[in-house]
């Protein structure tokens, strides 16, 4: 049956096969790692090759404790490099795979879930405000996330604007899909918990992972938009042609933008980092899908410094009542304990401030990075803090020293340009161009929030928008935004800074006169569409309706509030002291003046 | 027939190489043990290749021999009982090979195990018990699969082949040729493992000889997983009992079935790309 010729041919073929196998066997033996194949009590063949000391970051995530695949995925059973690296996650914690890396069972499940629903991941506030400004939704609120927006096959003009200008900061955007503004940051947990890779830095085999997030990691994203991270450091961005005006205060930001030095936040001067004030729920969320950052943030000034007027904020309990598991885990990881009967202050939704501890009659704040205790002064119950008429003021209304301000924003779409598109991870046709006449740093204006309280505000979008080339609207918007600028000064702003400042009252830049029968204001540069109004104003003295803000219910002072504030302004030049009897009951004082029972020296002189 | 004898030789090579592999495989840690065999055991990858390729050769040989028998109309030489049992060799071989595929324990094998469990369980009355018997209960290790791979189906395949060939063992020359062919193929065509974890969004492929069925199951109810093969076996089995136009019709049906199977295979492969 089988011929000898066939047998010889097969023998030759078998020999060729065996030679090929011999070559493969030699290669296998030569390339196989020689290290241990176990880590963290399980088979982990990554460490047969990855044996260099610099590949081990030590600490809680040491190679011997967790191996490589716990964070980096891949195939920990394989000896072969290609098979071992298949399906690897180069950036553990990236939200696309976080449930299998940092958020895997037995590790940081709870934190990963919270971060995924937090505003850093969802960015729903940015999405809704942007779409509202473009006239695509009726209110500046909504639950649509940035990831959903970027995934749209046929995005609206506002969504294209988001995809090209705003999407780089939210955590779902992959690290490699980033422009130069936020280089080095990750697309998930690593954004905050892995040290930033600065341009030009020596590459490290394995960066350190740290729960003690340093401020430079916050700066990557928060040096944009409201620029709170810059303000906190005492830096304000300027346009290139403005840098010279800063003189010796001129400097350059981490990414090359020109800036000027200004007064840093008093907490920064005391050595406090972002994480020393901000609670874990502020940063990583609490599992609920908040629409705007001010809803997610729990920390308040009153939580540390106590209420000025015995308000509801600044709640206290004892550690025996604390149920928040993350705060307890944080303490345990740091090897710290709290006696059950020790008092603890709480954030707005009850998260404990575990680094604020009672000390004698007062409180001390522990700097989380260094463990240094700083005495934390409590708000004094003095005339300045219980001044009648100021009940609605938030702390930052008076204590925010300055805010970065830009009231000449021009945004247009150029269809013939090209720009990076975060939705496509590539440069695509069409470009949004933003220009301004420059930024300034000045005391913030005052706004009335939806809850009725007065808070700092800046021109959020006093702007001309021309999105016609993208199929969007053309027009101008006059919107202010309210936020804490993070420029807290030890001293509050002076009475005149609000009561005699057209800027603070939202009237814009111009000349305010209180000498006539009623206040008058002459704009420095009248708005084209309303000559009574300054071009950078939010409202004017005769406005029927107050100016609108970037949140539902946020507004400028209305005409009545303006008149009332300016009426006080007429007196503050002389009656500077809060203990002055005139302030005990200002309306009664005015009444006495009106019927001649008392005299105003100013008016007599004047 | 030469093809039949060579196929028998391949079965012997598959059995012997399987016996050599057995000490290296762990039912509780299948993928880990195979990665060790492939990556850390001298000549382990080659031995595994010999086993896999001789098994595939056995299946291909069985199929080719069936086509040869049908085309030469030599099926009539077998008694009806031997014919039907010879036809049964085809599903028995596939079940033996499928067991080997499942024993890999990688993502593809795990997916195939889940699918096969569903298909088995869809057989009326005995389905669930049969699935548990052949594949074990969900969550258990792969010991039942290994038992039927190395025991039940291999023994059955051997017995059916021996009865069909009227000899208990293949002749030496066939065995040597089968061994040399397998050794050559194992050196030239390394047999890889699948991914440890299914890549997100990827379509995992089952064993190559069942891709047509996998493709069909994307569109048909799960019972098609056993009804379609049973239909083909019935058609092929009945060929022995008819002549003339009926024989031609049955062969045409079998050919159409095979063409459809091939089409589903190609379609699935294109979808996986």
Tens of pLDDT, residues A409-454: 889 999 999 999 999 889 999 999 999 888 999 999 999 999 999 9
Residues 6+ apart with CB under 8 A from A568: A389, A495, A499, A586
Closest to A79 (Cβ–Cβ): which among B35, B177, B197? B35
Q: Which of residues 70-99 of A touch B (CB under 8 A)?
A: 73, 75-80, 83, 86-87
Contact call for A18 and B187, based on CB within 8 A: yes
Contact A45 B35 (CB under 8 A): yes
Half-sphere exposure of A504 (CA within 13 A, CB side): 22
| Closest-CA residue to B15 (of B104, B97, B73, B84) | B97
CA B31 to chain centre: 20
User: Which residues in chain A have Cβ-Cβ distances shorter than 8 Å to B199?
Assistant: 86-87
Query: Going by DSSP bridges, is the β-strand pair A258-261/A250-252 parallel, antiparallel, or unpaired?
Result: antiparallel
Query: Would you give the DSSP letter of residue B77?
Result: G
**Per-residue pLDDT tens for A349-387?**
999 999 999 998 899 999 998 888 999 999 998 999 999
Q: Which of A50-59, A73-82, A580-589 has the highest mean pLDDT?
A: A73-82
Burial annotation A79-113 (CB, 10 A radius, 16+ → b, else e): bbeebbebbebebbbbbebbebbbbbeeebeebbb
Q: Would you say B113 and B145 are in contact if contact means Cβ atoms under 8 Å apart?
A: yes
Total residues found in chain B within this entry: 273
Rounded to a whole number of angstroms, the distance from the CA of B79 to the nearest CA of chain A is 26
The C-alpha R_g of chain A, in whole angstroms, comes to 30
Assigned domain for A318 exists = no
The runs of H, that is alpha helices, within A62-183 are 63-66, 69-72, 81-85, 109-117, 119-122, 124-133, 146-150, 157-161
Instruction: Categorize the per-residue pLDDT at A606 as very low, low, confident or very high, splitting at 50, 70 and 90.
Output: very low
Q: Is A10 on the interface with B (CB under 8 A)?
A: yes
Angle at CA of residue B203, ends B200 and B204, nearest 5°: 100
Task: Give percent of chain B above pLDDT 70.
Answer: 100
* CA B198 to each of CA A22, A565, B105, B108, B174: distance values in angstroms, whole numbers, following the listed order: 31, 66, 12, 7, 40
Cβ distance A25 to B196 less than 8 Å, yes or no, reads: no
A171 in any annotated domain = no
Closest-CA distance, B150 to chain A, in angstroms, reads: 25
What is the signed CA dihedral for A255, A461, A547, A127, rounded to 10 degrees?
Answer: -100
Please report which confidence band the pLDDT of residue A3 belongs to, taking 50, 70 and 90 as the band edges.
confident
Q: Is A28 on the interface with B (CB under 8 A)?
A: yes
Q: Which of A187-196, A376-385, A416-425, B186-195 has the lowest average pLDDT?
A: A187-196
User: What is the span of the domain harbouring residue A476?
Assistant: 401-573
Share of chain B above pLDDT 90, in %: 95
Nearest by CB: B188 against A1, A20, A80: A20
A589 lies in some domain: no
A179 falls within a domain = no
Taking contacts as CB-CB distances below 8 angstroms, the residues of chain B near A25 are 42-43, 45-46
Element (H, E) at B165: helix B153-165
Higher pLDDT, B210 or A11: B210
In-domain check, residue A277: no
Cβ atoms A197, A185 nearer than 8 A = no
**ipTM confidence:** 0.88
Looking at every residue in chain A, the average pLDDT score rounds to 90
| CA closest to A11 among chain B residues | B180
> How many domains is chain A built from?
1
Q: Is residue A55 part of a domain?
A: no
Residue A314: the pLDDT is 56
Q: Where are the alpha helices (DSSP H) in A278-433?
A: 280-284, 293-296, 301-305, 325-333, 395-399
- Asked if A25 has any chain B CB less than 8 Å from its own CB, the reply is yes
Q: Supply the DSSP string of A430-461, one letter for each residue.
A: EEEEEEES--EEE--EEEE-TTS-EEEEEEEE
For B49, nearest residue in chain A (alpha carbons): A21
Per-chain mean pLDDT for chain B: 96
CB contact under 8 A, B199 and A87: yes
A2 vs B38, B45, B177: nearest CB: B177
| A562 domain residue, yes or no | yes
Task: Name the helix (H) or strand (E) containing A363.
Answer: strand A362-366
| For residue A605, pLDDT beyond 50 | no
Residue A209 has a pLDDT of: 87
Task: List C-alpha distances in Å: A560 to A450, A540, B1.
Answer: 17, 12, 107
Nearest to residue A606, comparing CAs of A578, A558, A574? A574
- A97 pLDDT band (50/70/90 cuts)? very high
Q: How close B19 gets to chain A, by Cα (Å)?
A: 21
Residue A486: inside a domain: yes
Whether residue A590 has pLDDT greater than 90: no
A46 in helix, strand or coil? Answer: helix
Q: Does A545 touch chain B (CB under 8 A)?
A: no
CB contact under 8 A, B43 and A16: no
Distance CA A233, CA A265 (A): 7
Nearest alpha carbon to residue A121 among A195, A190, A172? A172
| Chain A to chain B Cβ contacts (< 8 Å) | 97
Q: Give which of A123, A234, A202, A228 is closest to A169, Cα–Cα.
A: A123
């Amino acid at each position: 049956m089988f011929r000898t010729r066939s047998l010889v041919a097969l023998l030759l073929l078998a020999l060729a096969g065996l030679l090929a196998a011999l070559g493969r066997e030699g290669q296998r033996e030569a390339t196989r790692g020689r290290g241990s194949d176990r880590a963290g009590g399980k088979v982990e063949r990554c460490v047969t090759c990855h044996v260099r000391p610099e590949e081990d970051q030590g600490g809680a995530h040491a190679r011997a404790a967790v191996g490589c695949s716990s964070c980096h995925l891949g195939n920990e059973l394989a000896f072969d490099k290609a098979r071992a690296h298949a399906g690897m996650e180069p950036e553990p914690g990236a939200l696309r795979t976080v449930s299998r890396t940092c958020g895997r069972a037995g590790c940081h499940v709870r934190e990963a879930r919270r971060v995924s629903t937090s505003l850093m991941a969802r960015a729903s506030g940015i999405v809704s405000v942007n779409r509202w400004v473009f006239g695509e939704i009726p209110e500046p609120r909504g639950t649509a996330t940035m990831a959903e927006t970027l995934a749209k096959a046929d995005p609206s003009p506002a969504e294209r604007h988001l995809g090209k200008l705003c999407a780089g900061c939210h955590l779902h955007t992959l690290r490699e899909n980033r422009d130069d503004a936020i280089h080095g940051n990750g697309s998930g947990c690593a954004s905050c918990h892995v040290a930033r890779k600065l341009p030009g830095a020596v590459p490290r085999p394995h960066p350190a992972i740290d729960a003690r997030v340093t401020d430079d990691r916050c700066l990557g994203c928060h040096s944009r938009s409201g620029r709170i991270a810059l303000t906190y450091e005492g830096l304000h961005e300027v346009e290139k042609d403005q840098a010279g005006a800063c003189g010796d205060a001129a400097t350059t930001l981490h990414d090359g933008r020109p800036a000027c030095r200004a007064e840093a936040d008093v907490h920064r001067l005391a050595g406090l980092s972002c994480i020393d004030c901000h609670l874990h729920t502020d940063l990583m969320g609490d599992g609920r899908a908040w629409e705007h950052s001010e809803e997610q943030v729990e920390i308040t000034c009153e939580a540390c410094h106590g209420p000025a007027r015995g308000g509801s904020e600044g709640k206290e309990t004892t550690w025996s009542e604390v149920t928040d598991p993350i705060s307890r885990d944080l303490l345990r990881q740091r090897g710290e304990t709290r006696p059950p009967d020790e008092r603890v202050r709480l954030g707005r939704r009850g998260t404990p401030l575990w680094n604020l501890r009672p000390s004698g009659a007062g409180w001390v704040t522990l700097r989380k990075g260094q463990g240094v205790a700083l005495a934390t002064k409590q708000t004094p119950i003095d005339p300045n803090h219980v001044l009648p008429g100021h009940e609605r003021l938030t702390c930052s209304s008076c204590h925010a020293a300055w805010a970065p301000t830009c009231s000449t924003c021009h945004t247009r779409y150029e269809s013939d340009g090209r720009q990076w598109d975060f939705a496509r991870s590539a440069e695509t046709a069409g470009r949004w161009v933003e220009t301004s006449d420059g930024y300034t740093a000045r005391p913030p204006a005052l706004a009335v929030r939806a809850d009725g309280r007065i808070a700092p505000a800046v021109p959020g979008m006093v702007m001309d928008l021309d999105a016609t080339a993208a199929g969007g609207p053309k027009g101008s918007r006059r919107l202010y935004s309210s936020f804490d600028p993070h420029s807290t000064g030890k001293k509050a702003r002076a009475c005149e800074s609000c009561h005699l400042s057209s800027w603070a009252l939202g009237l814009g830049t111009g000349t305010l006169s209180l000498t006539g029968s009623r206040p008058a204001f002459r704009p420095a540069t009248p708005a084209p569409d309303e000559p009574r109004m300054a071009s950078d104003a939010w409202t004017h003295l005769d406005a029927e309706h107050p100016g609108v803000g970037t949140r539902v219910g946020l507004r400028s002072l209305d005409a009545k509030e303006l008149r009332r504030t300016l009426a006080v302004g007429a007196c503050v030049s002389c009656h500077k002291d809060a203990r002055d009897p005139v302030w005990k009951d200002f309306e009664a004082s005015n009444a006495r003046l009106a019927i001649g029972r008392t005299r105003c020296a100013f008016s007599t002189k004047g | 027939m030469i093809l039949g004898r060579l196929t028998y030789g391949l079965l012997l090579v598959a059995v012997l190489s399987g016996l050599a592999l057995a000490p290296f495989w762990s039912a509780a840690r299948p993928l880990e043990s195979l990665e060790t065999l492939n990556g850390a055991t001298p000549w382990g990858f080659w031995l595994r290749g010999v086993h896999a390729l001789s098994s595939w050769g056995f299946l291909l040989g069985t199929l080719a021999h069936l086509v040869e028998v049908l085309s030469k109309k030599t099926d009539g030489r077998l008694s009806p009982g031997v014919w039907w049992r010879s036809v049964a060799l085809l599903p028995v071989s596939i079940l033996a090979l499928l067991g080997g595929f499942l024993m890999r324990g990688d993502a593809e094998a795990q997916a195939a195990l889940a699918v096969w469990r569903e298909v088995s369980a869809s057989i009326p009355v005995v389905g669930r018990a049969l699935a548990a018997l052949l594949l074990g209960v969900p969550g258990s290790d792969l010991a039942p699969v290994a038992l039927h791979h190395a025991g039940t189906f291999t023994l059955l395949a051997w017995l059916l082949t021996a009865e069909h060939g009227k000899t208990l063992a293949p002749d030496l020359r066939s065995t040597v040729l089968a061994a040399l062919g397998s050794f050559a193929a194992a050196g030239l065509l390394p047999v890889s493992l699948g991914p440890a974890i299914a890549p997100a969004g990827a379509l995992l492929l089952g064993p190559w000889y069942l891709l047509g069925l996998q493709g069909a199951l994307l569109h048909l109810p799960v019972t098609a997983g056993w009804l379609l093969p049973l239909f083909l076996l019935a058609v092929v089995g009945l060929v022995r009992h008819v002549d003339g136009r009926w024989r031609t019709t049955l062969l045409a049906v079998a050919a159409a079935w095979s063409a459809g199977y091939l089409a589903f295979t190609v379609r699935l492969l294109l979808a996986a790309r």
